[in-house]
Structure 1
Amino acid sequence: MFLSPFRIQIRSFSTKPGPICALIKDKIEKSAIKPYHVELINESYKHNGYKRGRETHLQLIVVSHEFESVPLLERHRRVNELVKDIVHEHKIHALSLYTPNPSMWYRTYEKGLKLDEVYRTPPCLGGQVKELSEQTQRIEQEKMKQQEAQKTMET
């Protein structure tokens, strides 16, 4: 599967890409990164508190020749720098990046792997992290009480 230069794609599953995806796409298209392939996936529907039309959880795939011999962290910094104002202004909760150079991109497809098998966005806990932490503490406290009660009964 060959991708033509500057192929820009917005993929949609349960949520339609909206104006925020369009802003990000436009910003990257006009950047010095000179993308070979850009893909935005609105994954907001997978996350807690999803409301129709929201663009809060996005996966951004940017393939560029400019990324040859550039470490992963630096590639992510470059992309983040480009879109940071949009992310901040529109309160994007999560922006997952996949930034391969073209040779990495082709190797993925030569093996017959789909992107989802290679790079999956982790599940979002959203506001549940604190709740889960408190729940874990309560369970641990209960276990300690039970152990103490058991020791008391044994003596």
Structure 2
Amino acid sequence: MSLQQQLIEQLNTLSPHHLEVINESAGHGGYYPGKESHFKVIVVSDAFDGLRLVQKHQKVYSCTQSLLAAHGGPIHALAIHAYSKEQWKGIAPSSPECAHAKK
């Protein structure tokens, strides 16, 4: 199973109304076809109601930690855009370009 699919499965524990998991590995240095190391997640869930931004990120980290490099997993970077249903406007910010990506 791909890392992207594993990430989706783990984030589904938050019972999201909306979930996008985007593999952004190709935009980073050292990329080769099939590499999965950098992801962006957009998740909208009632689990985030009333939480501050850091608390939302903590919830996402809690359910994905086995995949993150800081805990011995293969994912090097995870950009998190977490919203309550009320906060979600239908679009998340674009990711910045990586300084180490091939130009």
Opposite residue 63 of structure 2, the aligned amino acid is L
Partners of 2:4 and 2:99 in 1: CA distance: 22
Indicate which of 45, 61, 84 corresponds to 2:42: 61
1:121 pairs with 2:87: no
Q: Which has the higher contact order (CA 8 A, sep 6+)?
A: 2
Task: State the TM-score, normalizing by the size of structure 2.
Answer: 0.84
Distance 2:65 2:99 in 1: 22
**Alignment match, 1:21:** 4
Q: Look up the SS of the partner of 2:86 in the other structure.
A: helix
CA contact (8 A) 1:67 1:75 kept: yes
The RMSD of aligned alpha carbons is 1.8
Asked if residue 52 in structure 1 is aligned to residue 70 in structure 2, the reply is no
Label 1:80 to 1:126 Cα distance change in 2 as closer, same or farther (>3 A): farther
Give the whole-Å Cα distance in 2 for the aligned partners of 1:19 and 1:38: 17
**Runs of 5+ in structure 1 lacking a partner?**
1-17, 110-114, 128-155
Partners of 2:40 and 2:62 in 1: how far apart? 16
Give aligned pairs, total: 99
TM-score, L = length of structure 1? 0.58
Which consecutive segments of 4 or more residues in structure 1 shift more than 4 A?
Answer: none
State the 1:125 CA deviation.
2.6
CA apart distance, 1:126: 4.4
Deviation at 1:78? 0.7
Counterpart of 1:85 (choices 66, 73, 76) is 66
**Which structure has more helix as a fraction of its residues?**
1
1:71 is the counterpart of 2:86:
no
Contiguous gaps of at least 5 residues in structure 2:
none
Amino acid at match of 1:123: E
